[in-house]
């Protein structure tokens, strides 16, 4: 072999060795990454849960000790389903309104059966075996086989109600119901324009406004899929947001009900300013803003000679969810269910009772976009972040390995 050929052979061997070393490193990284995402085998006497341990990483499935020492005002729930809400997604990325202390089990909207009942809970009529839904908005812990909840945060679920429907309902619908009843006193003579964006709360508001209050609803949505869901809820008109066409489209729809004055001259400018407070969310807001669950807002009312138009739904983030931010000659009121519960717990409880009654009677139909097993939790988080669907994502806690199933309702 010539010296040139020898040097080429040595270089080739070195490059080949480097390639194998690099390939081995990549292979090891892939194995390590897969190992992190592989769920452990269940252990007797322990529960499985999805833990958020690092804001930059995925949720991790671990075997944990079951919650013990149930207090008098608490219950222990054997979790069947847990809704994965947008706040869970934001919390997992440390983008929410507060920073959670890690590690934490996310998930707060839970459906399951009681397996342990505190003495105070028992006095309030709860017993082992009851099917319940919990809104653990301050405690979380729902992405686990068992979780604790206080009696002020649980409701009995009638046996005729499907568990997935129950898991898809209470949080969004209580928020929408209280906002529509307490902030605008909506009735069947109203036309209400609801800016859906990608908000499940706004979709619930369409369902309630149309099928409970019998108002006429126009939906404005971020996507065609969202507009289709709004129509299925009963909106008599549903539009995908288009900046230059929206006002004209609304004017044409309103004309069918002889609502005209709000579009003329000064009134027209007034209505445009009101509308922009909601639709600006499409121009300026980030996904973080769109996914916030405390940016549901309502314009108290807008009167014209021919009728009343209410605007509600997703809006730019309110700095103080209970103060009225003045916008010219009108006010927009933000609404946050967690804060409202602290101020008016009785109204909060009553609203939950009413929503479950509406669901039992078939008046409302909650929207669920995806059902997936607990071990595929990170796929569900990605779905929320990327797909911008206003329907609920529900985690099947019992059927842990279940692949994602898209739901159309």
State the Cα–Cα distance between residues 226 and 199, nearest whole angstrom: 9
pTM (two decimals): 0.83
Q: Quick: pLDDT tens for 130-175.
A: 999 999 988 999 999 999 999 999 999 999 999 999 999 999 999 9
State the Cα–Cα distance between residues 55 and 95, nearest whole angstrom: 10
User: Which residues contact residue 221 at a Cβ distance below 8 angstroms, ignoring those fewer than 6 apart?
Assistant: 196, 197, 227, 229, 230, 238, 239, 240, 241, 390
| E strand segments, 231-350 | 237-240, 296-299, 302-303, 308-314, 324-327, 330-335
What's the token pair of residue 406?
A: 């898209």
pLDDT of residue 319 exceeding 60, the answer is no
Q: Quick: pLDDT tens for 38-80.
A: 789 989 989 999 999 999 889 999 999 999 899 999 999 999 9
User: pLDDT-based confidence at 299, cuts 50/70/90?
Assistant: low
State the Cα–Cα distance between residues 341 and 108, nearest whole angstrom: 15
Domain boundaries, the chain: 46-168+367-406, 173-342
Q: Quick: pLDDT tens for 77-134.
A: 999 999 998 889 889 989 887 888 999 999 999 999 999 999 999 999 999 999 999 9
- What integer is the mean pLDDT of 255-265? 69
- Short-list 76, 75, 85, CA closest to 107: 85
Average pLDDT taken over every residue of the chain: 81
Highest mean pLDDT among 180-189, 258-267, 320-329, 371-380: 371-380
pLDDT of residue 23 exceeding 60, the answer is no
The neighbouring-strand residues paired with 385 are none
Helices 224-233 & 200-211 angle (0-180, nearest 10): 30
- For residue 100, give Cα distances in angstroms to 108, 140, 142, 287, 391: 14, 10, 15, 20, 25
The neighbouring-strand residues paired with 132 are 112, 156
Which is more confidently placed, 289 or 22? 289
Quick one: CA dihedral 2, 7, 8, 14, positive or negative? positive
Query: Which of 10-14, 380-384, 388-392 is the least confident region?
Result: 10-14
Amino acid 116: pLDDT: 97
State the Cα–Cα distance between residues 316 and 334, nearest whole angstrom: 10
The neighbouring-strand residues paired with 89 are none
Amino acid 46: pLDDT: 95
User: pLDDT-based confidence at 281, cuts 50/70/90?
Assistant: confident
CATH architecture observed for domain 173-342: 3-Layer(aba) Sandwich (3.40)
The H or E element that residue 79 is part of is: strand 74-84
Q: What is the CATH number of domain 46-168+367-406?
A: 3.90.180.10
Amino acid 224: pLDDT: 85
Amino acid 9: pLDDT: 38
Amino acid 316: pLDDT: 64
Strands 216-221 and 131-135: unpaired
Residue tagged 């409701």 (tokens): 155
- For residue 228, give Cα distances in angstroms to 37, 86, 216, 273, 390: 35, 21, 16, 27, 11
Amino acid 330: pLDDT: 60
Amino acid 180: pLDDT: 87
The share of the chain scoring above pLDDT 70, in percent, equals: 77
Strands 405-406 and 368-373: antiparallel
State the Cα–Cα distance between residues 201 and 211, nearest whole angstrom: 15
Count Cβ atoms below 10 Å from residue 155 Cβ, excluding itself.
Answer: 18
pLDDT of residue 225 exceeding 90, the answer is no
State the Cα–Cα distance between residues 336 and 320, nearest whole angstrom: 9
Three state DSSP letters for 67-133? CCCCCCCEEEEEEEEEEECHHHHHHHCCCCCCCCCCCEECCCEEEEEEEEECHHHHHCCCCCCCEEE
- What integer is the mean pLDDT of 214-242? 88
pLDDT of residue 324 exceeding 90, the answer is no
């Amino acid at each position: 072999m010539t010296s040139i050929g020898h040097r080429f052979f040595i270089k080739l061997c070195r490059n080949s060795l480097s390639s194998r070393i690099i390939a081995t490193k990549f292979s090891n990284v892939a194995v390590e990454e897969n190992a992190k995402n592989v769920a452990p085998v269940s252990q007797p006497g322990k529960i499985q849960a999805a833990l958020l341990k690092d804001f930059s990483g995925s949720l991790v499935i671990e075997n944990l000790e079951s919650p013990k020492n149930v207090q008098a005002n608490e219950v222990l729930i054997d979790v069947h389903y847990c809704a994965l809400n947008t706040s869970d997604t934001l919390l997992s990325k440390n983008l929410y309104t507060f920073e959670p202390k890690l590690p934490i089990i996310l998930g707060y909207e839970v459906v399951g059966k009681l397996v342990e009942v505190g003495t105070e809970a028992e006095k309030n009529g709860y017993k082992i075996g009851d099917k319940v839904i919990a809104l653990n908005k301050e405690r979380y812990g729902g992405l686990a086989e068992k979780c604790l909840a206080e009696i002020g945060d649980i409701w009995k679920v009638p046996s005729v109600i499907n568990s997935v429907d129950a898991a898809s309902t209470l949080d969004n619908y209580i928020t929408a119901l209280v906002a529509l009843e307490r902030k605008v006193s909506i009735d069947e003579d109203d036309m209400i324009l609801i800016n859906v964006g990608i908000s499940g709360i706004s979709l619930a508001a369409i369902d309630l406004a149309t099928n409970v209050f019998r108002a006429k609803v126009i939906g404005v949505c971020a996507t065609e899929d969202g507009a289709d869901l709004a129509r299925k809820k009963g909106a008599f008109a549903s539009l995908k947001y288009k900046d230059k066409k929206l006002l004209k489209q609304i004017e044409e729809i309103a004309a069918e009900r002889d609502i005209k004055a709000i579009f003329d001259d000064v009134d027209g400018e007034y209505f445009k300013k009101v509308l922009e407070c909601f639709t600006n969310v499409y121009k300026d807001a980030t996904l973080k803003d769109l996914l916030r669950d405390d940016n549901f807002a309502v314009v108290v009312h807008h009167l014209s000679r021919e009728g009343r138009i209410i605007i509600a739904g997703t809006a730019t983030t309110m700095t103080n969810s209970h103060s009225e931010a003045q916008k010219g000659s009108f006010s927009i009121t933000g609404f946050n269910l967690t804060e409202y519960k602290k101020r008016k717990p009785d109204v909060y409880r009553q609203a939950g009772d009413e929503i479950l009654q509406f669901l039992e009677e078939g008046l409302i139909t909650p929207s669920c976009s995806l059902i997936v097993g607990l071990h595929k939790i990170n796929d569900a988080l990605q779905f929320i972040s990327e797909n911008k669907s206003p329907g609920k994502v529900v985690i099947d806690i019992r059927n842990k390995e279940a692949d994602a199933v898209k739901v159309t309702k």
